[in-house]
Structure 1
């Protein structure tokens, strides 16, 4: 059996020389809960618990989940990880690299951004990875050569996409570097959509850092309040709406009420039909009423309300969701909710549908890996030897034969 979060917690705790009770006190959990996490009797199935354990042990979330180290051995996503050193160089040098290619025009880059965004939303990271460094280099060249608002706008959008992809694949520190570049470019791009996009990705990265939840909320909601009066175009509404959705997840993780943020996001979604056309490359086409409903499910899951998750899921049609990544998220939340109710048969069915929608993403998604591993340890034997056993091999929680 491959290592799960609880095993890493036990290993790190032992190396620190602290007892389960001390760890429980630091994390605000019970000693019995720590014991169940460490033995695998209970999965670490919420962001709040994962962050609390990481903060109590003074480690990163990645050190508890194994991302991205474990994922590097997955042939399906190797193309992305092989591209990371080149992305890192492009960011550190701000595109001043030994690249003799003639740069693509800003219009060509804008078209390529749309292609890259679709790949990222559909979670095809293996195809996306090799595209990112050349896009960064070209965007930086245009900024150096022209210093126009359009060039800064394109750089902001490219850096945002790079940060989002790096964050999703576990490179949090490098993602922050890209997010800072997006913020720097947004300040020179004109308009508010780039500013909102940069704040959104910064909030997402901060959400993965133990102790940084107040900063995540301040970054997203502070920016939303600052730009709200100037939002007019579709892209501006989309990016503002995503800030409120991010605020809802941060609030739920902090055990606060996410509803005010979700209500505001829904109001913004209602403005889209009469919005002005975009003036910036920065936008988030996945935002809309169906996406708000999906994030409402995620907030309920974070608050450990499985019945509410399933009730909300019944009101949402997966085909209404804008891309494969969102459809995968929909089925993962359903799978987690059923598992919390110990309905492992329906949980497995939902996870298989999530995997079908976005295999690269789901097979390396920590909540899915934790859940599949837990089911392998606790479900009926007829499940573990069939579809569940095969899924467990694909997500890497049991060795392949």
Structure 2
């Protein structure tokens, strides 16, 4: 991957860790000659799996070797920031490094990026993903499952950052590459979310309903993965239906989703794929989301009061989105100070994520709409979420 400051970063971290180049080569399995070329800036491109090996030997995160792009991203991110990823999705990779990619290396590199996905570190992902897509494409037709998993996460990220056309490309490719029906169902779950964010409620309902029927398991024999796939599709169906003024269908779907969640006996958190995490708390948060759509703020706060949010990892697709509903409910009940406190909590936990959320801007706009002056904290919030006031 092309990184102008990689030479300086690698050299600095290596010396801080007390490694010679030869010792780092022995510890990482990366050739001494390649390490020398990287540190002397003779290599314009380096595979992500090579960086992962170096990072593991140095006991740092791969992202510590990655130069995050400069500049502040706007809504959906800076277009220049995401251009390499969008080109990579189209197969426009440029010249590849000399060393060939390996299945184990690409898989390990993707696993190493999972914390960046789950904590919404968009700037680092924008740098790391284009070369990883290139490497995955070079693996050929026999590694469809690995490529599908990567493309699914790319599609999720692009949906999250409101790059809907590129997300459609990534998710369509992921669906084509899916190796089994549960992988396909997980991708369809994200595709349904994309359709809803695009405003296609009828399309979301049709897609989620069809696939929920397709993967519906026999509860007594179902695996956690099957219940998660079915439950998420029902959640998508419910959240689209409530927005489409179909409250009965929304309630039926969320009730079935809760059946799946109860059968799981608790939250399901696959170690390698946070997008498939599901359980009773997920359903409870989505019930609160439906209540907010229906303009029932008291119901939102009642449901939220039973959710142990402090026990949940701050992830954008569940907890942080739920907290925005809580803030919105507080605004509706004229509890503006409490609403602002909730927004500040989300900002602290997910500073890059909140900048892409129109919902957060709308809520904060309501909080300050009748104020003549803003506090310093409010001005900081306005700047962070790019709200003109």
Under TM normalisation by the shorter chain, which class is it?
0.7 to 0.9
Q: Which residue of 2 aligns with 1:248?
A: 238
CA distance in 2, matches of 1:234, 1:370: 37
Q: Which residue of 2 aligns with 1:130?
A: 127
Q: Which residue of 2 aligns with 1:217?
A: 205
The correspondence for 1:197, drawn from 157, 177, 186, is 186
Does residue 234 in structure 1 map to residue 231 in structure 2?
no
Shift of 1:239: 2.7
RMSD (Å) for aligned C-alpha atoms: 3.0
CA distance in 2, matches of 1:261, 1:362: 29
Q: Which residue of 1 aligns with 2:298?
A: 307
Contact 2:217 2:226 in 1 (8 A): no
Contact 1:221 1:244 in 2 (8 A): yes
Q: TM-score, normalised by structure 1?
A: 0.70
Q: Which residue of 2 aligns with 1:88?
A: 86
1:369–1:77 CA distance, 2 compared to 1 (3 A):
closer
The correspondence for 2:279, drawn from 283, 288, 297, is 288
Contact 1:117 1:161 in 2 (8 A): no
Which protein shows a greater Rg? 2
Question: Unaligned 5+ residue runs, structure 1?
Answer: 1-71
CA distance in 2, matches of 1:271, 1:361: 32
CA distance in 2, matches of 1:356, 1:159: 29
CA distance in 1, matches of 2:311, 2:297: 22
CA distance in 1, matches of 2:182, 2:363: 37
Shift of 1:201: 1.7
SS at match of 1:396: coil
Q: Which residue of 1 aligns with 2:45?
A: none
Q: Which residue of 2 aligns with 1:108?
A: 105
Contact 2:148 2:175 in 1 (8 A): yes
Count of aligned pairs between the two proteins:
315
Contact 2:215 2:229 in 1 (8 A): no
Shift of 1:282: 6.3
CA distance in 2, matches of 1:367, 1:119: 23
Does residue 333 in structure 1 map to residue 335 in structure 2?
no
SS at match of 1:364: coil
Contact 1:153 1:281 in 2 (8 A): no
The correspondence for 1:117, drawn from 91, 114, 117, is 114
Question: Unaligned 5+ residue runs, structure 2?
Answer: 1-69
Q: Which has the higher contact order (CA 8 A, sep 6+)?
A: 1
